[in-house]
Structure formats: structure tokens, C-alpha cells
């Protein structure tokens, strides 16, 4: 099979648009934030990890700013959105990417990890989506949101109760918001990525060891085993997901709302 390199970032689709991204210090949030910059947007990088934010934006230029945002705190969300609007003058788009994936079998699943997953993956998306919608409705300017769900929101993974439930919940949040906010010119879509290993802290050695145990294989076999599950036998890169986000936030997707763009190299529906 011919090797295919990671795609180049889409350019020119978001000139001057202001987009706030949560979870932008690492992994897919970071990959998307960088893709948005390449597409011409002004990007507000947010995360709880201030050190990480400072590092990843050090050479990003005047089109980028960063501000601490804990998605579980109403106060933190309000302050970060206000800081973004104060610096860039407006807000056109939101990408919710901050998420966690504590993996345990059901009979061992700790209540605190379940509750934390709900707070970050669901309440966090709710608080940020509500803040963006409040701004857009008040200004009467419309807007676009992208919620990063997962293929696990479509097809549950073993030993991952909270992740499965929250990622499925995000899909339904988006559909409800799309219906509720369409009349205000606000579009809400999801991306359901397959497994993306590059740069992700979710795919840390402990998580890989847990996945290996759940699958009955060695840790070094985990990543190849996931890639082999895709119809294209392809390692999905952050740019693949970033390009989907750029498209969904752009006017090219002006007639798309309430949708799920699945970027999984052919895993969930191509078997």
C-alpha cells in the first residue's frame, strides 16, 4: 500500500476569524489551534496547564494569545472568554477539546474518576458552549462551534465507561444546540476522531498499559493494533483532525449543523 504523508494544513479558510480552543496545551486541542492559525484565524489558546500554554504559544506570533481556562469552573470560563474578546475584539468560533479518559473496567471504576470525567467532558463542554452562545445571541452575530467527540461516542470501547458515556453525550449536546440555535445563525458540529497518538497525553504509558491489559496484548503492540483496525491501515495525525475543524468552522460548511464528521481512517462504519 502506498504511504501517505500527513496532510498539509488547510489555508485561507478563516481569515481574521477569532476562535477560542479549550485543551489547547496538548494533543488534539493544540493540533487544532495550530491548524486554525494556519487557516488565518486569530486563536485564543486555553487550558488549565499554564506552563504548557506559554510553551506552545511562544513562537505563535500576534495572531495567538493564551489564557488559563478551567472548563469545570463557570467563573474561569467567563473570565477567559472575556479576555479573548478584550484582546481580539470579538469571537467567531469555539472548539471544545479539553477532555480526559480514565480507563477502568466497570466493576473497578472509581466514583471520583467517573464524576471528574462528567465534569470535564460534559459540564466543561456545556459551560463553554453556553458562554459562546450567550455572546453570539447578545451580539446578534452568529457563530460556529466544534465539539471534539470521539469514535467512542459512536461505538463504545471496552473498559471505558465514562469516556463512552461522555463522548456520546457530546454528540447529543451538539444536535440539541444545533436545533435550538440555528435560528440565531449559530452552527454546532462534532468531530469524531479515531485514535490519534501523536502528541496526546491521553495516550500516556499508563493508559497504553491499561489498554494492553484490556486487549490481552503487550504495550508495544497497542498502537499498531489500533492502526490495523482501520480500513485504510493509517495512523491518523492531528492535522487530519485540525483540517476537519477548519472546514467546519469556515463558511464552506455554512449549511452544516448538527453533524458528526468522522475522521477515523475507516474504523466505525467501514468494516
Ligand X SMILES: NC(=O)c1ccc[n+]([C@@H]2O[C@H](COP(=O)([O-])OP(=O)(O)OC[C@H]3O[C@@H](n4cnc5c(N)ncnc54)[C@H](O)[C@@H]3O)[C@@H](O)[C@H]2O)c1
Whether residue 226 lies in the annotated active site: no
> Using CB under 6 A, which residues numbered 214 to 233 contact ligand X?
none
Q: Which of 40, 63, 72, 104 binds ligand X (CB under 6 A)?
A: 72
Instruction: Report strand pairing: 18-21 vs 93-96.
Output: parallel
C-alpha cell at 74: 463557570
Closest CB to ligand X among residues 13, 96: 96
Backbone angles phi, psi at 175, to 5 degrees: -65, -45
Q: Which residues pair with 94 in a beta bridge?
A: 20, 145
- Minimum CB separation from ligand X for residue 152, in Å? 7
The verdict on 201 binding ligand X (CB under 6 A) reads yes
The verdict on 193 binding ligand X (CB under 6 A) reads yes
The verdict on 98 binding ligand X (CB under 6 A) reads yes
Place of cell 440555528: 182
- Tell me the per-residue interface mask from 110 to 139 with ligand X, x by CB under 6 A, - otherwise: ----------x---x---------------
- Minimum CB separation from ligand X for residue 113, in Å? 13
C-alpha cell at 182: 440555528
> How many Å apart are CA 116 and CA 130, to the nearest integer?
20
The verdict on 26 binding ligand X (CB under 6 A) reads yes
Q: Which residues pair with 192 in a beta bridge?
A: 262
Q: Which of 9, 29, 93, 143 binds ligand X (CB under 6 A)?
A: 29
> Using CB under 6 A, which residues numbered 151 to 180 contact ligand X?
none
Per rule CB under 6 A, count of chain residues that contact ligand X: 30
Q: Which of 14, 20, 23, 57 binds ligand X (CB under 6 A)?
A: 23
**Class of residue 232 by CB neighbours under 10 A (exposed 0-12, middle 13-18, buried 19+):** middle
How many CA atoms, within 13 angstroms, populate the side-chain half-sphere of residue 58?
A: 6
Kindly write down the DSSP assignment for every residue of 195-262, as one continuous string: ---TT-STT-HHHHHHHHHHHTS-GGGHHHHHHHTSTT-----HHHHHHHHHHHHSGGGTT--S-EEE
Closest CB to ligand X among residues 97, 181: 97
> How many Å apart are CA 192 and CA 218, to the nearest integer?
27
Q: Which listed residue (109, 125, 135, 163) is catalytic? A: 163
The verdict on 27 binding ligand X (CB under 6 A) reads yes
- Minimum CB separation from ligand X for residue 53, in Å? 9
> How many Å apart are CA 145 and CA 125, to the nearest integer?
10
> How many Å apart are CA 229 and CA 54, to the nearest integer?
36
Closest-by-Cβ residue to ligand X is 27
The verdict on 148 binding ligand X (CB under 6 A) reads yes
Catalytically annotated residues: 163
Report the interface residues with ligand X, using CB under 6 A: 22-23, 25-29, 47-49, 52, 69-72, 97-100, 120, 124, 148, 150, 193, 195-196, 200-203
Amino acid at each position: 500500500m502506498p504511504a501517505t504523508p500527513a496532510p498539509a494544513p488547510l489555508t485561507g479558510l478563516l481569515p481574521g476569524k477569532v476562535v477560542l480552543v479549550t485543551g489547547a496545551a496538548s494533543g488534539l486541542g493544540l493540533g487544532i489551534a495550530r491548524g486554525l492559525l494556519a487557516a488565518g484565524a486569530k486563536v485564543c489558546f486555553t487550558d488549565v496547564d499554564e506552563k504548557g500554554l506559554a510553551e506552545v504559544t511562544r513562537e505563535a506570533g500576534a495572531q495567538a494569545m493564551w489564557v488559563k481556562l478551567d472548563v469545570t469552573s463557570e467563573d474561569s470560563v467567563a473570565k477567559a472568554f472575556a479576555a479573548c474578546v478584550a484582546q481580539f475584539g470579538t469571537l467567531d468560533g469555539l472548539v471544545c477539546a479539553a477532555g480526559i479518559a480514565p480507563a477502568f473496567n466497570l466493576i473497578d471504576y472509581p466514583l471520583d474518576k467517573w464524576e471528574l470525567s462528567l465534569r470535564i467532558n460534559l459540564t466543561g463542554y456545556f459551560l463553554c458552549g453556553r458562554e459562546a452562545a450567550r455572546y453570539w445571541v447578545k451580539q446578534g452575530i452568529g457563530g460556529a462551534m466544534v465539539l471534539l467527540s470521539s469514535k467512542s461516542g459512536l461505538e463504545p470501547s471496552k473498559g471505558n465507561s465514562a469516556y463512552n458515556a461522555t463522548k456520546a453525550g457530546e454528540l447529543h449536546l451538539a444536535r440539541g444546540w444545533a436545533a435550538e440555535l440555528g435560528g440565531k445563525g449559530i452552527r454546532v458540529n462534532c468531530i469524531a476522531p479515531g485514535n490519534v497518538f501523536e502528541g496526546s497525553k491521553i495516550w500516556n504509558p499508563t493508559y497504553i498499559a491499561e489498554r494492553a491489559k484490556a486487549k490481552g496484548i503487550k504495550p508495544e503492540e497497542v498502537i499498531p493494533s489500533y492502526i490495523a483496525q482501520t480500513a485504510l491501515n493509517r495512523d491518523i495525525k492531528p492535522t487530519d483532525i485540525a483540517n476537519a475543524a477548519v472546514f467546519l468552522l469556515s463558511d464552506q460548511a455554512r449549511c452544516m449543523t448538527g453533524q458528526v464528521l468522522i475522521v477515523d481512517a475507516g474504523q466505525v462504519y467501514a468494516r
